[in-house]
Structure 1
Amino acid sequence: MYIYICSHFEMVNDLKRFLHWGPITFFSLLICVSWTTLHMNSMLWPPNESFASMANLGIYLASNMMTLLNFIRAVTAGPGYLPKKWQPKHINEMKFLQICKACDGYKAPRSHHCRRCDRCVKKMDHHCPWINNCVGWGNQLYFIYFLLYFALTMLQASVILSLAFYRGLFRRHFIYHGMRHLATIRLNMLNAMLTMFSFGVAVGSIMATGKLVYNQMKSVFTNQTEIEQWIVKKARFRRVLNAKHSQMFLYPYDLGWLTNFNQVFDWDFQQHGDGIVWPVRKGCDQYTLTREQLSQKLDKLARTRRYRCIYPATGHWMPIWSQGLMTGICIPYTDDPRICLEPNDLVHVTRIQDYWLYGERVQQPNEKERRKGPKRGWLPSRCVIEVTDNDESAGGDGDGD
């Protein structure tokens, strides 16, 4: 009974992931491009004309089906979530790990907390809005196959649509010069507009998908997620600045391009390991990367500045009316949240831009109930002033981390 309830809950949760602007937009665009391509292809190269024309149609339909299959797999398989309140088996290993307050446990090596999924994700690469899920240990292979088949589908569609539009546009020219076998495309207002729109979507999708495929294959061959690539960059930069570090940082999970490739592209579609314990290279251990993360966090705390709110912050993405024109225009081009502030709120700031700051609001002891909205995110710089250690208003505030 318990297993049935859990499986039913997981099925409902998977269905909810499709009710999001990302999957809905993807399905809508794919249906539009596919219908337009099949309609124009029926006039350009009818499938009953030859074996080659039938093969062309079969390849297009097969790539469409594989795109949908791997898209659904990437959504439903999920990246693999770390159990809530997770702890390492040995108590002495806890000192090497970060604590996740949201999941009330420790973060396993290579795991990171996703604020959209509200869970710690195993080998988290990034959160993809198109699949409304994270890409990680459990679904990276399906995500890459989805990108490859989608690129192939859009490439074939762009060729068919461009040829059909060209032949439809010069139909009278072909008839006039006696080439009636090329004058098979009849354009009207509807299919002409759909062809131009679908061609634009196809070309744009190829460009965007190509960039994603490059990023994913780079991640596969180096065995570094996007988050880990950033951690490694900071680790090497720290050692350049700090003379105490005599050795360069050695990334523990790079086992050679072939071994790295085989960890993801398992032809039996079997996941390697449990997503928690990973094979490491000689000279490293399971906590080489997590120790570096803790050191970077200490450096980040040392750079933290304290600010006090003097004007309310609404939490809007483009607060032109409340914060001014330049603040509304020069917004941070990230999907990180904006936080709401009230006068006298304290904020620990770690990133500074011209008109915006990134930090975490400090929850005061006298707050009777938890305030709604995110505690960490961007805020307009004109809403706050920096406070020093000698400032009386900063005395007694707790650490927000």
Structure 2
Amino acid sequence: MKMDHHCPWINTCCGYLNHANFIYFLFFAPCGCIHGAFILIGSLIQLLNNPYYLYHMNGEPMVQLSILGFIIVVFSIGLAVGVIVAVGMLFCIQFHEVLKNETAIESWIIEKAKSRERDPSESEFIYPYNLGWKNNLKLVFWPTDEIKSNGISWPVIDSCNQYTLTVEQLIQKAQKKERVVLLDIVQNYSGYWFPFSKGCRVVYNIPCSDEARIPLSVGDVVEVSRGRRYWLYGTKVNKEDTDQPRVRGWFPRCCARERNTKEMSQDIKSEIEDENEKKKN
């Protein structure tokens, strides 16, 4: 359904059915805060210049505030300015994506498509849903019979088809799987966001994201797909029950070591020996 992202502020996902309404929300929320900020700032200026208004503006209503009221007004102005800046920037980002007819997820796929290595037989990737900024706006805000979607099939440019982006994403996932590195866990990790027992540098350089952290024990095996200097992101390999959901997340780099058959845990060695015996038989 062309999901863009999940918005915690409206507690729902933004996509095909509500993307236009979400853009309207991002536009009118800063507008309302601008209106409120002007009123509050004007009242605050009049309050600070009450002597002038008292002697030179006959009959002009006076602004009277207690200390608590003054603090609340200043705090409200700060909140209004914060919303104007934060939500206003998000509106610009979202509107720019609408002009290109992209979602946040599709933008990430396109970015990787530009940088990945291609086989000589492969042609350059062309984003299939960019119909021009006018048609892109119509598709989101004013869909017509000529330019509309049922939520599954979408209008595409002539040189592409409905599966152009899907094929590119599958190729990217296959290449990502080839780059996966198996690591053995050599230190226990509780899954805490601030693991002080792993050192100050690990705590100071935690990943700035809401992605999960995975508790790990010595002997676990993790498929690592990306990482940073002090943290790695991977998927825990299930040993016993393959039907269990695979857990993925971040963990400290110091807890893992690149898999080496000479230095594996006893359980891993036993698994390899059992596999070799089966092949011989």
Using structure 2 for the length normalisation, give the TM-score. Answer: 0.87
1:300 aligns with 176
1:127 aligns with 6
Is 1:155 equivalent to 2:34 in the alignment?
Answer: yes
Q: How does 1:1-400 map to 2 (within 5 A)?
A: 122-175=1-54, 177-181=55-59, 184-238=62-116, 241-242=117-118, 244=120, 247-266=123-142, 272-320=148-196, 322-364=197-239, 366-367=240-241, 370=244, 375-388=247-260
2: CA distance between counterparts of 1:267 and 1:155?
A: 31
- Inter-CA distance 389–290: structure 2 relative to 1 (3 Å threshold): farther
Residue 306 of structure 1 contacts residue 388 of structure 1 at CA under 8 Å; is this kept in 2?
A: no
SS at structure 1 position matched to 2:81: helix
- Inter-CA distance 165–267: structure 2 relative to 1 (3 Å threshold): farther
Residue 214 of structure 2 contacts residue 248 of structure 2 at CA under 8 Å; is this kept in 1?
A: yes
2: CA distance between counterparts of 1:391 and 1:314?
A: 23
CA-CA distance at 1:210 after TM superposition:
1.1
CA-CA distance at 1:272 after TM superposition:
4.2
Residue 155 of structure 1 contacts residue 206 of structure 1 at CA under 8 Å; is this kept in 2?
A: yes
- Inter-CA distance 391–245: structure 2 relative to 1 (3 Å threshold): farther
2: CA distance between counterparts of 1:367 and 1:251?
A: 40
Query: Which structure has the larger Rg?
Result: 2
Report runs of 4+ in structure 1 exceeding 3 Å deviation.
Answer: 180-183, 367-371, 388-397
- Inter-CA distance 158–277: structure 2 relative to 1 (3 Å threshold): same
CA-CA distance at 1:138 after TM superposition:
1.5
Aligned partner letter, 1:346:
V
C-alpha RMSD of matched pairs (Å): 2.4
SS at structure 1 position matched to 2:70: helix
1: CA distance between counterparts of 2:264 and 2:90?
A: 50
Residue 53 of structure 2 contacts residue 62 of structure 2 at CA under 8 Å; is this kept in 1?
A: no
2: CA distance between counterparts of 1:288 and 1:369?
A: 32
Residue 308 of structure 1 contacts residue 344 of structure 1 at CA under 8 Å; is this kept in 2?
A: yes
1: CA distance between counterparts of 2:135 and 2:243?
A: 51
- Number of aligned pairs? 267
Q: Which runs of 5+ in 2 are unaligned?
A: 273-281
Identity of aligned residues (%): 38
1: CA distance between counterparts of 2:243 and 2:168?
A: 36
CA-CA distance at 1:382 after TM superposition:
1.3
Aligned partner letter, 1:262:
K
- Inter-CA distance 245–323: structure 2 relative to 1 (3 Å threshold): farther
1: CA distance between counterparts of 2:228 and 2:200?
A: 16
CA-CA distance at 1:199 after TM superposition:
0.4
Using structure 1 for the length normalisation, give the TM-score. Answer: 0.62
CA-CA distance at 1:384 after TM superposition:
1.2
